[in-house]
Amino acid sequence: MGFLCCLNLSASAKEVTIHGFVTEINSPTSFVIDDYKVTRDNTLTFELSKTEGVEPPTFRAEDIRVGTELEIKGEYEEESGQLKAKSIKVFLGDAQKLKRRALLEQMPVLTKNGSGWEGEIRADGERIRVLPTTLVTIKPNRAEREKQKGAGSSESAPLNSADMLNLDTFVAYEGTRSADGPINAAKIEFEHGEVERGEAKMWKKLEPEVKSPDYSNFQPGTLKMRDCAYGFCEHEIVPNEQAQEYVARIGESLIPAHQKELSADDPLKIPFRFFLVKAKSFNATAYPNGVVLVHSGVFDVLQNEAQLAFVLAHEISHAVEKHAWEASHYHRKELMALRAGGAFIPYAGFATGLAADAIKSQYARSLENQADRVGLEWMLAAGYDIREAPASWKALSLKKGDGPINPFWSSHDNKTTRRSYLMAELRNNYSDVDFSKLKTDSEEFHHVAQAVQEFEVKKNASKAK
């Protein structure tokens, strides 16, 4: 559905700045970002964000597609949702070149083509095309390198057989997105997953001390643990057995099948444990050892079970994709580079200082994007309506406003940004989904939400006495 490109905005129009991803295109001068119907004059030029070491290409209006990231300043009329752009900044990002790493979601469909490979890889919530020109290699992990000492190179080598791969394999890929959506890979590097000694220590360090609630007497339990970012922390476990079992059951249903089917003694098995803890904030946190904390405040915001499923799938993906372990390596390398360049970084743990915070925000954003993409896949696999993923951000905006989400993320990231990112993913990658067969809600969700809210009321009343 289109609308006129030239608008007569009323006196109620106000100056706004929005940052998000294009979710619908009507014409080169008319497109949509979430709820904002954007129009621009033909004479308005685009400002391109600069990426270090990359020469910005020429960008035309015709290059805007669903998923293009834009920052727009202009006059906005709230009643109609119309935004007349005065300036448009384009963030090319992945539109230029993608460089990511993710766990395989399915066994790759690969065929030997002469000296190369051809086929498709499903990972990272993406379809990755392997072309005859794609460089396909496999890199030994740390344990394999230790075994290979004195027995040849420990560097990446050409992939000789697809039988060398399994669903515990990570794929690092580089490429560009094609006009029809999938990524055309220039480089593919596989590496078998493992739990390194340092990662095992991280798991152990984050092991919680749990005292179960006294459900019959309505007494909260306690969960004490060391937190990577904030030191030692303690949470109250909500003393409602139905709520605890419900959150755990939904969480278990979203764990990817292969991870769930690993034997208990497999070092790659993540022993997921889900806890509903008392906290007013809209938040959930996943730790690398499978501990997932869901704040009771989510039930003040979320509207149905599918939205809760997205929150849990997003958090589960952080653990399965090893984001905490990957981030610790990334920050360590970047902090060393900053020191080498003369930057003052006072603490060598998680990134601190202004320069390090900038690194952290950029990297955190890439991890959140991946958790969104992968979370959609697992949400769909569990039979949930993935359209409720962006709707969960809409619900949060209605409850809390549309401001920034987290001070450690990019300053561009607000609820509109996250919502429009997911909406673009749905349009680009899930247009063939039969939504009529997917689950949205359950009566139990609302029973649990009411019980959790009643617990908060009783808790506050007892404090007031």
Average pLDDT over residues 370-389: 97
> What is each CA distance from 157 to 36, 115, 151, 153, 167, in whole angstroms?
49, 13, 14, 9, 20
Q: Is residue 8 part of a domain?
A: no
Same domain, 382 and 431: yes
- Which of 194, 213, 228 terminates a domain? The answer is 194
Q: Is residue 220 part of a domain?
A: yes
Query: Tokens in use for 56?
Result: 């910005």
pLDDT at residue 7 is higher than 80: no
Q: Is residue 39 part of a domain?
A: yes
Q: Is residue 7 part of a domain?
A: no
Q: 330-356: per-residue pLDDT in tens?
A: 655 544 343 343 333 232 333 333 334
Same domain, 395 and 447: yes
pLDDT at residue 304 is higher than 60: yes
Contact 375, 317 (CB under 8 A): yes
Question: How many independent structural domains does the chain possess?
Answer: 3
| Beta strand 36-39 pairing with 82-91 | parallel
The pLDDT value recorded for residue 459 is 66
- Which of 69, 92, 115 terminates a domain? The answer is 92
* Cα radius of gyration rounded to whole Å, the chain: 24
Same domain, 173 and 226: no
- Which of 167, 194, 221 terminates a domain? The answer is 194
Q: Which residues contact 96 (CB under 8 A, 6 or more apart)?
A: 51, 54, 57, 176
Cα–Cα distance, 139 to 10 (Å, whole number): 61
Q: Is residue 167 part of a domain?
A: yes
Average pLDDT over residues 125-148: 93
Cα–Cα distance, 75 to 10 (Å, whole number): 10
User: For residues 166 and 460, which has the higher predicted lDDT (pLDDT)?
Assistant: 166
pLDDT at residue 51 is higher than 70: no
User: For residues 42 and 186, which has the higher predicted lDDT (pLDDT)?
Assistant: 186
Question: Which range (255-264, 302-311, 331-340, 375-384) has the least confidence?
Answer: 331-340
Same domain, 114 and 242: no
Same domain, 143 and 251: no
6: pLDDT confidence band, cut at 50, 70 and 90?
very low
Q: Label residue 392 exposed, middle or buried (CB < 10 Å: 0-12, 13-18, 19+).
A: buried
402: pLDDT confidence band, cut at 50, 70 and 90?
low
Same domain, 244 and 298: yes
- Give me the chain's average pLDDT, please: 85
The pLDDT value recorded for residue 284 is 92
Average pLDDT over residues 116-128: 95
Average pLDDT over residues 77-81: 91
Same domain, 70 and 178: no
The pLDDT value recorded for residue 338 is 36
Identify the DSSP state of 104.
B
Q: Is residue 1 part of a domain?
A: no
Same domain, 401 and 305: yes
Same domain, 187 and 204: no
Same domain, 137 and 166: yes
Contact 176, 134 (CB under 8 A): no
**Residue range of the domain that includes 158:** 98-194
Same domain, 187 and 206: no
User: For residues 419 and 113, which has the higher predicted lDDT (pLDDT)?
Assistant: 419
Domain CATH for 43: 2.40.50.140
Same domain, 422 and 441: yes
Q: Is residue 40 part of a domain?
A: yes
